[in-house]
Amino acid sequence: MTVMAKARSVRRSAVVCTSVLGLWGLAALATAESKVSFAAHDVKTTFFITKSENRNQVHYGVRTDAACVPRGDSPVFAYWQDLEDGPNATSPILDHEQRAYGIETQSVISRTTSGGSISLQHRALKGRPMRVDVSKDASGACVATTLTRIDGKRAKLDRAHLEIGFLQLKKLTLYGHALKDGKAVEESLKP
C-alpha cells in the first residue's frame, strides 16, 4: 500500500469513527429519559422559567384527572426540562433548589365537573399571588392558565426569565398577556 493510500485509509477510518460516535451521541440525546412521571391527563406546563446561564428550564405542571379536575391537595408541581440533555429529558427539582424554584404554598380553591382553580404562592415571588385555572380545551385536552399581576395589570403568566450573575440573581423578568386586551406585558424585578 502506498503512503497516499494509507493516508486515505486513515482519514476514512477517522470519518467513520467520528460519524459513528456522532450518531451514538445524537441517539443518546434523543433517548434521554424523563425522570419525572406524568399521568395521562396531567398538564405538563402552565408556565416556565428560563435562565441566562443555560437552556434548561423549570416548568410548572398540574396533576389532573380525566375530567381535568386538579388531583390531590398540592396538584401544581415543578420540574426541570433538561434541554441541555435532550428535548425529552426531565428531572425533579432538588431540595437545595426549592428556595429559588419551589412553591411556597398552594391550595385548591375550587373543583368543578370539568376543571378547577388553585391558589399558588411561588417562593421567589413573595407578595405576588397566583391563580392556576384548569379546564378542557376544544379538543378535550386538559389545559391550565396561570394568572397574576404583571406591571400592575391582571395577566396570564407565560414565563419568567432569570438574569443570573456571579453567585447572585441580577434580575427577574415576568412575561405574559394582559387579560383586558391581550397585549403583551412584562415587568422586571430586582432582588
pTM of the model: 0.81
Nearest CA to 119 out of 103, 136, 107 is that of 107
Residue with more model confidence, 126 or 25: 126
Q: What is the pLDDT of residues 135-183, one digit of tens each?
A: 999 999 999 999 999 999 999 999 999 998 888 888 999 999 999 999 9
Q: Which DSSP helix (H) or strand (E) runs through 89?
A: none
**What's the first-to-final CA gap in the chain, in angstroms?**
69
Residue with more model confidence, 17 or 90: 90
Break the chain into its structural domains and give their ranges: 1-31, 43-189
Amino acid identity at 23? L
CA-CA-CA-CA dihedral for 53, 89, 144, 46, to nearest 10: -10
Q: What is the pLDDT of residues 2-59, one digit of tens each?
A: 444 443 343 333 333 333 334 334 434 344 566 999 999 999 999 999 999 999 999 9
